[in-house]
Amino acid sequence: MSRPAWQPPEGIDWTRPALHIAQENGVWAHTVTAYLRKNGLPVRPRGVPLGQRWKQQNRRKNSLDPATLDWTRQDVALGKAHGVCRERIRQLRKAAGLPASGSAEWLAAGGVVTNPSKKYRLPLDRPPGLA
C-alpha cells in the first residue's frame, strides 16, 4: 500500500519559493518540488527571488555597535558574549582602528587576557627565558 500523493489547496501562487509554500501547508519543501516536477510546473531555483532582499533584522552582526563593546577583552570572549564569531569582532576592531587582540599594542592599552591557555603565547607575557 503506497502513501497518497500530496494534493495542494486551490489558489497557490506557484511562482513563490517551494519552502514558503511548504511552510504554509505543513509539508516538506521536497514534497512541494516533487509535486511541481510531477505536474510539469517550473521549479524555481534555490535562494531569494530576484528583486528581494534577506531580512536584515535577524542578522546579529548588523546590530552590534562598536562603541558599546569592551575592547580590553579578547575577540573570542567578545564574540561569545555577543553571539557572533571572533572574526566579526576582529573586523569591527579593525574598522574602529584599534590594535589587534593579543598584540603588544593591545596589551599596553590595557588589554586583558581572558583565556589563560593563550596567556603564555603572547609576546609580553612570556618568561624571559622563553622569549
Report whether 126 contacts 118 (CB < 8 A): no
Contacts of 15 (CB under 8 A, 6+ apart): 44, 49
Report whether 107 contacts 122 (CB < 8 A): yes
- Chain segment 27-81, per-residue pLDDT in tens: 998 999 999 999 998 887 766 666 666 554 445 545 678 888 899 999 988 888 8
Q: What percent of the chain has pLDDT over 70?
A: 73
**Which sequence spans correspond to the domains of the chain?**
12-46, 56-117
Q: Please report where in the chains the cell 587582540 appears, as a residue.
A: 101
Nearest to 91 by CA among 79, 108, 104, 81: 79
pTM beyond 0.75? no
Nearest to 6 by CA among 45, 15, 24: 24
What pLDDT is recorded for position 115? 65
